[in-house]
Amino acid sequence: MPVFHKTKVLTDVPMHYCPGCTHGVVHRLVAECLEELGVAGKTIGVAPVGCAVFAYNYFNLDMAEAAHGRAPAMATGIKRVRPECVVFAYQGDGDLASIGAAETVHAAARGENITVIFINNGIYGMTGGQMAPTTLIGAKATTCPYGRDPKVNGYPVRVSEMLAQLDGPSYIARVSTHNARAVLDAKKHIRRAFEKQIEGKGFALVEVLTGCPTNWAMSPVDALKYVEEQVIPYYPLGVYKDTDKEVR
Amino acid sequence: MARQLMKGNEAIAEAAIRAGCRAFFGYPITPQNEIPEYMAAHMAENGGVFVQAESEVAAINMVYGAAAAGFRAMTSSSSPGISLKQEGISYIAASDLPCVIVNIMRAGPGLGGIQSAQGDYFQAVKGGGHGDYKLLVFAPASIQEAVDLMFVAFDKADQYRMPAMILGDGMIGQMMEPVELPPAVDLQSLPEKPWCLRGWDGQGERRIVSSLRIQPEDLEPYLNEQMKKWERIKEDEARAEEYRAEDAEILLTAYGTPARICKSAVEILRAEGIKAGLIRPITLFPFPDRAFRYHAARPEVKGFVSVELSTGQMIEDVRLAVDGKKPVSFFGRCGGAVMSEDEIVAFVKGGAF
Amino acid sequence: MEKILLAGFGGQGVLSLGQILAYAAMTEGKEVSWLPSYGPEMRGGTANCSVIISEKPIASPIVARPTLLVAMNGPSLVRFEDKVVPGGVIIVNSSLIERKVTRSDVKAYYIPANDLAIQCGTARAANIVMYGAINSHCKILQPESVHKGLEYAFKKKPRLIPMNEVAYRAGFEAVEQHD
């Protein structure tokens, strides 16, 4: 009878994530992929500033903690001097798409041979629910308390679509974690994004749609439903770029 | 070893490679462009990496990554670009990582001008970024000294696990002088960095590079240990050159190129019967207090003149070192203008005190 | 100690002339420094550089009061004539500057550097004509170090060295034959 084993690439430290948050799920997917690919022993992860700021406590890997938004630059520095290592950045939407937009775009444009896991929950979680670059039009946040108004706050950034326009990336995909099937599918794309790096094909990014029940002021179940019904229509799932095959 | 005629920026870059630098990340800004250009041309043939980053912010964070991975890493810039790097410098310092930052200073504030200045003394010596940290700051006054200090900067940065800065005025970057380049260090001879990120094979402790110490009970003891380290550095690493200071009654003090202008002024003053001398700080942190204390205690010393390409920054450290025992006055040019030896002589003769 | 200020407009080879002088003197074991003006002036505007050649270590590398000024164009003479020390020397590029030096306490040479260079084969050698003129007056460089300076300047185009030797001699002789 098969026995479930937790991946050794995660530590036993209890995670600080809120109930219903799927950061922990994504951590596990990343860890399982690294274990299955047999590269955990030569992997270096770069944690962001944001909810995943303590990711270095959870990944049982050599880890660095970057400045806010600078994980792709720090990962670039690591990867360039240690090309034999697998290097990934794990970032949220404020980190990657707002304060670190330049670092993200240029790491992608350089085709930097790193993997980026991008958690898009449309809100600043760690600081208490402020508007993110990916917050949907009409959605409320503490810095757009009447709902995001494009006249005041501008429009959400579709990161995957944007980066897919560049020549540098080898793989850009958007996945979700709102149900079991989506999670299993997400793992396939995350694994592919690491394989791209191992094959030396260059920048790979997987955008993962997640919920934030705490700051969305929803139950975990409602948050997952919201992702499915409201978020995915604005941020369609799929592979946006794959240099190995035609997409979309 | 034959002398070569080299431009300061190029000599600095070559010295860095010979000192074991294998990762350079930079962004264009005048007057330091020859450093990234030289690195772009020569890093690869020496087995190193060069990246022209998208910004100064990205460049220093690439240094952060390469330093975390255990490589001798460096960036260079000029004043406005160094301002942008301050975030990364604070993180690198707080992560106990060695690296070298070269600032070929131009005139500020703001976009300022591109001519030589020393307005970044406070930024280099007193912080610049947020929080309690220090940089080792070296101030070369010649191309040869810039070359020699590059080796020292990398070694001391490794020894103390903290960033070091080479603080040169624009003239140091743009000038050409003969230099003798020391032989390249053998990378195998450098001390191991057991803390560096390289992928964890499950043996021993895994490595975490982080500047996050979220509990005061973690952060305060860490900073207290840093303070002790800074005290040891003040004790052991201060460097200064004294020029005709032993019997001097008027002591000029300056760092970098202005110190050489002061030497010319000392000669003129001496020829006119005025006993002038010079104290030239070579390290700005640690500041060479001892040299100032020694001369401040000599009865025949009338006072000190801090000569700077700024509106007066190093003078604050001179005053702290002299500790009220003698008057300290200021003579400076700023905004990219450079004083002549005659102006210094006129200031001293016109009654500096 | 010779404190030389070389000034002209961008493209006249003023900065490279300074490097040639500094390099040639360095090969004789002398102390040298070369300090350029830099910035927007590099691109077609005025250009100047300071060269110090000394038997002793050089204190200030800045030449506020040159012992020798080479003015390659009119604005340079206007800007720097008054800076030259009394008893100093001004070498004027008379191909481009019609007026005379107004000071009586300096020695002036009027050398048609562009015309002499054209006679040697190219106007671009005007700076090398001045190389000859400077050394003819100062005698700071031995003939073999003069040659090393030219090798340094034309290390990528050594075929140009013989022509520039001729340009050097033209400048050297022009000073010898000057009043």
Q: Which residues of C touch B276 (CB under 8 A)?
A: none
pLDDT bracket for residue C10 (50, 70, 90): confident
Q: CB neighbours (10 Å) of residue B232?
A: 12
Quote the CA–CA distance of C48 and A56 in Å, as a whole number.
Answer: 56
Q: Are residues B229 and B268 in the same domain?
A: no
* Model-level ipTM above the cut of 0.90: yes
The CA-to-CA distance between both ends of chain A, in Å, stands at 41
Q: Is A3 left (phi over 0), alpha (psi -120 to 50) or beta?
A: beta
Domain match, B148 and B32 both:
yes
* Residues 6 or more apart in contact with residue B285 via CB below 8 angstroms: B124, B125, B134, B135, B136, B137, B233
Tokens 């019904």 — which residue?
A229
For B140-181, how does the pLDDT look when each residue is reduced to its tens digit (9 = 90+)?
Answer: 999 999 999 999 999 999 999 999 999 999 999 999 999 999
What is the mean pLDDT for each group of 10 consecutive residues in chain B (353 residues)?
92 98 97 97 98 98 98 98 98 98 97 96 96 98 98 98 98 98 97 97 96 98 98 98 98 98 98 98 98 98 98 98 98 96 96 80
- Report d(CA B261, CA B341) in Å as an integer: 5
Q: Do B259 and B177 share a structural domain?
A: no
CA-to-CA dists, residue A130 to A133, C31, C57, angstroms: 10, 63, 62
Q: Are C3 and C67 in contact (CB under 8 A)?
A: yes
Number of structural domains in chain A: 1
Tell me, yes or no, whether A124 lies in a domain.
Answer: yes
pLDDT of res. C64: 92
Please give the DSSP secondary-structure letter assigned to residue B50. Answer: E
* Greatest extent of chain B over all pairs of C-alpha atoms, in Å: 73
Q: Are the C-beta atoms of A141 and A130 separated by less than 8 Å? A: yes
Q: Are residues B183 and B320 in the same domain?
A: no
Residue B292 lies in a domain: yes
Number of domains chain B is built from: 2
- B113 found inside a domain: yes
Q: Are residues B10 and B150 in the same domain?
A: yes
Taking residues C15-34, report their average pLDDT.
97
pLDDT in tens, A167-182: 999 999 999 999 999 9
Q: Does A11 map to a domain?
A: no
Q: B34: burial class by Cβ within 10 Å (0-12, 13-18, 19+)?
A: buried
Residue B204: inside a domain, yes or no?
A: no
Specify the CATH number for the domain of residue B84.
3.40.50.970
Interface probe for B, chosen from A12, A42, A78 (most Cβ of B below 10 Å), is: A78
CATH no. for residue B323? 3.40.50.920
Residue B214 forms part of a structural domain: no
> pLDDT-based confidence at C122, cuts 50/70/90?
very high
pLDDT band at C43 (very low <50, low <70, confident <90, very high): low
Residue A67 lies in a domain: yes
Q: Using one digit for the tens of pLDDT, what is the confidence trace for C64-76?
A: 999 999 999 999 9
Q: Nearest-5° angle of CA A113, CA A116, CA A119?
A: 175
Coil/strand/helix, residue A240: strand
How far is residue B276's CA from residue B287's CA, in Å, rounded to a whole number?
22
Please give the residue range of the domain that contains residue A151.
23-242
Q: Closest Cα to residue C145, out of C3, C32, C12?
A: C32
Going by beta carbons, is chain C in contact with chain A, meaning 3 or more pairs sit under 8 Å apart? no
Report pTM: 0.96
The set of residues, in sequence order, having a beta carbon less than 8 Å from that of C174 and lying 6+ positions away, is C109, C111, C112, C116, C129, C132, C133, C136
Q: What is the mean pLDDT of chain C?
A: 95
Mean pLDDT of all residues belonging to chain A = 97
Taking contacts as CB-CB distances below 8 angstroms, the residues of chain B near C23 are: 5
Residue C75: in which H helix or E strand, if any?
A: helix C74-80
Angle (nearest 5°) at CA B169 between B166 and B175: 105
Tokens of C79: 């800007």
B80 and B124 inside one domain: yes
CB-based contact B30 C39, cutoff 8 Å? yes
The string of pLDDT tens digits covering residues A11-51 is 999 999 999 999 999 999 999 999 999 999 999 999 999 99
Cβ distance of B57 and A73 shorter than 8 Å: yes
Closest C-alpha to B13, from B35, B44, B28: B35
Asked whether residue A197 is domain-assigned, the answer is yes
A86 neighbourhood in chain B, CB within 8 Å: 199
Q: Do both B230 and B256 map to the same domain?
A: no
CA gap A167, C31 in Å, rounded: 53
CATH number of the domain to which A166 belongs? 3.40.50.970
Contact B177 C64 (CB under 8 A): no
Q: Could you tell me if residue B171 is inside a domain?
A: yes
**A95 located within any domain:** yes
Residue A247 lies in a domain: no
**Domain that includes residue B13, residue range:** 4-199+223-236
CB A64 to CB B71 under 8 A? Answer: no
Alpha carbon distance, N-terminus to C-terminus of chain B:
47
Burial (0-12, 13-18, 19+ Cβ within 10 Å), B37: middle
Q: Is there a single domain that holds both residue B230 and residue B253?
A: no
CA distance B179 to B5: 6
Given a cut of 80, is residue C42 above it in pLDDT? no
Residues C156-167: tens digit of each pLDDT:
999 999 999 999
The answer, yes or no, to whether residue C171 has pLDDT greater than 90, is: yes
Domains contained in chain C, CATH given: 2-176 (3.40.920.10)
Instruction: Classify residue A84: in a domain, yes or no.
Output: yes
Residue B261 sits in the same domain as residue B308: yes
Which residues lie across from C49 on neighbouring strands?
A: C6, C36
- Within a domain: A35: yes
Of the partner residues B22, B91, B201, the one whose CB lies closest to the CB of residue A67: B91
